[in-house]
Each structure stands twice: as C-alpha cells, then as structure tokens.
Amino acid sequence: MDLIIRILLCIIFPPLAVYDKGCGSILLVLLLTCLGWLPGTIVALILCLADKNKIGGK
C-alpha cells in the first residue's frame, strides 16, 4: 500500500515523494520538475523504487 501511494505521489507531485531522501534529492527533483514534469517524475520514480529494492521490498 505504501508503494502505491509513493508511486502516485511521484506522478502527481514528484518532490513530495522524495521528501525522506534528503535535501539534495528534493532539490534535484524540484529543479527537474520545474524544467519539465516528465524528467522530475522519472527521477522520483527511480529514487523511490531503488530505495524499495535496496531494503528487500519491506
């Protein structure tokens, strides 16, 4: 359920989806989202899904 909410946040507002990754990630995603919605969304999805895979999907 948490993963579904995280993915929806990545699509709707990417910087909010990576708030727990740190200031650098938030700024990167915010900048990319300002330049274009798709780049910010892609990076946010990568960050969220990579973190989920690293901890074993729990």
Q: What is the pLDDT of residues 3-34, one digit of tens each?
A: 899 999 999 999 999 998 889 999 999 999 99
How confident is the model at residue 13, as a pLDDT?
94
Domain boundaries, the chain: 2-54
How confident is the model at residue 5, as a pLDDT?
92
Please give the single-letter amino acid code of residue 20: D
Asked if residue 1 has pLDDT above 70, the reply is no
Residues 6 or more apart whose Cβ sits within 8 Å of residue 19: 26
How confident is the model at residue 2, as a pLDDT?
84
Measure the CA–CA gap between 57 and 34, rounded to whole angstroms: 30
The reply to whether the predicted model has a pTM over 0.85 is no
Please give the single-letter amino acid code of residue 26: I
